[in-house]
Amino acid sequence: MTTPLIECIPNFSEARRPEIIDQIAAAIQSVSEVKLLDRSSDLDHNRTVLTFAGSPAGVEEAAFRAIKTAAELIDLDQHTGAHPRIGATDVCPFVPLGGATMEDCIAIAQRLGQRVGSELGIPVYLYEAAATRPERTNLENIRKGQYEGLKLALNGAEGAEEMEWRKPDFGPGKLPKAGATVIGARNPLIAFNVYLTTDDVGIAKKIAKAVRQSSGGLRYVKGLGLLVDGRAQVSMNLTNFRETPIARVVEFIRREAQRYGVGIHHSELVGLIPQEALVDAAVWYTQLDQFDKEQILESRLFSAQSAAADSAPARLSFPDELAAPTPTPGGGSAGAFAGAMGAGLVAMVAGLTIGKKKYVEVEAEMQAIRVVAENLREELTHAVEDDSVAFETVMGAFKLPKSTDEEKKARAAAIVNATLNAAHIPLHVCEDVVKVMELALKCAQRGNLNAISDSASGFAMSRAAFTAASYNVKINLVSLDDKSLGEKMLEELADLEKEADKLEKELRKAMKERGGI
């Protein structure tokens, strides 16, 4: 059964300090079940949109970590920007993709809203399909007056009636410096901006009023007129591109602009767009009346590849491949695989530490450890195949012809080059797994105590990986006639082994002092 796929597109009130967005992105990427797809920042808006997708549970957890990190780093009292906003994480929508339903996203929005309100002390409003009140379906109603207006209302300065209407769905009735967050569920949305050939923002505002649905314009279009980079901009959200396609919106704006003697300078996307929306625009502008989407080359190739993958025989598991009576995969691949498992355990322990009140002082460190461990796991996983390919290359070099002196010379050179490469790959594995050992030690020293044995297991897997990989470095280098070619590699390996020994002593100390074993 296919795992449901959910997309999340949170908007953060920050773009001018990229180091802050880096930390928010790292918080998202610390959840292994999600993939960060896009990062889009606008300096004038002072706003960043991050797009990620994954399993329902993974996306829900990643969204919470992102909101928490943003609340710690962004102060709305100090924030300025062209775009309306009420919070550090201004809006956080969930979109159903493959195998998911709108009901799934509504449930996520409700659970996340309750958690953000109770654990982080941030007022939460539900919107779109998750809205609890009809007037909160539209985001612009919730953002009325922006952060400053909401702050006055919740503090009672705007009167009891306004305060009651502004009462959040979850969280406190007072506004912290992180502001409030709007969480919801919706269909795919396209953030689309059109720049005009003028700096008169008044014209942009008139066109935005004409095009948006709330003022009698096109259905499923929300729009504002802004001044961005010294140019008038019609900033829009297209909430249903199938009913109101992009081409229709562009031509509407083009006609409205002509009324004021201006034109369209260029347009831009913020974040991602469904391929279907661009295909529909291309078909409309090129008037391909008989067009079939199967005529797209990439679509046809994807269909063919999917069909081939479905009909391909199932691949053996890696342990089964190791047990097969074939030269590859062998000990070098097994070492890399063990290292990848070690890195995976480190990432797991870091993940189990993140978000726990008891370990709040080391949360930033654990977020960084998780990101680095995941990168190392990916590298070591690739090394599993690389080691096999390198050995097969050596065997291929030995099979080269050697009838003439020239052929013998070429064969000898190929054997040396292939052998050096076959030694270099496990040496790189040794470098990676020493890094994993260092991360495992930090997790054992400061990570979740309930998972300290997992930290030690990750270290043990990495140490085993080092031993296996080092044997493969040495066996390849000893086969060379010219031993001097491998001297530098052996020196590097010796240094790495000393570091591994040192880390192992520190791990044993941590396990005794902190784990009692």
Q: Is 369 within 8 Å of 407 (Cβ atoms)?
A: no
What is the number of residues in the chain? Answer: 517
Both tokens assigned to 306 = 């999917």
**Are residues 383 and 341 in contact, defined by beta-carbon separation less than 8 angstroms?**
no
Which is the catalytic residue, given 42, 90, 387, 432?
A: 387
The span from the CA of 146 to the CA of 143, in Å, is: 5
Q: How many C-beta atoms surround the C-beta of residue 166 within 10 A?
A: 21
At 414, which helix (H) or strand (E)?
helix 405-446
Q: Based on the number of CB atoms within 10 Å of its own CB, is 298 exposed (0-12), middle (13-18) or buried (19 or more)?
A: exposed
Q: Which residues contact 326 (CB under 8 A, 6 or more apart)?
A: none
Q: How far apart are CA 170 and CA 334, in angstroms?
A: 50
Q: Is 266 tagged catalytic?
A: no
Give the Cα separation of 517 and 503 in Å (integer): 17
Q: 387 an active-site residue? A: yes
Catalytic residue among 83, 169, 428, 432: 83
Locate tokens 């993958």: which residue?
A: 309
Dig out the tokens for 264 from the structure: 């369209």
**Whole-angstrom Cα distance, residue 27 to residue 72?**
12
Q: C-alpha angle 118/124/130, rounded to 5°?
A: 115
d(CA 59, CA 41): 21
Is 284 in contact with 290 (CB distance < 8 Å)?
A: no
d(CA 35, CA 57) in angstroms, rounded, equals 13
**In 37-67, which positions are buried (b, 16+ CB within 10 angstroms) versus exposed (e)?**
eebbbbebbbbbbbbbbbbbebbbbbbbbbb
Structural element, H or E, at residue 498? helix 487-513
CA gap 55, 196 in Å, rounded? 40
Sort 8 into a burial class: Cβ within 10 Å, 0-12 / 13-18 / 19+.
buried
Tokens coding 314 = 């199932």
Residue 371: strand, helix, or coil: helix
Which tokens belong to 197? 């050939």
Cα separation of 45 and 226, whole Å? 9
Active-site residues: which are they? 83, 387
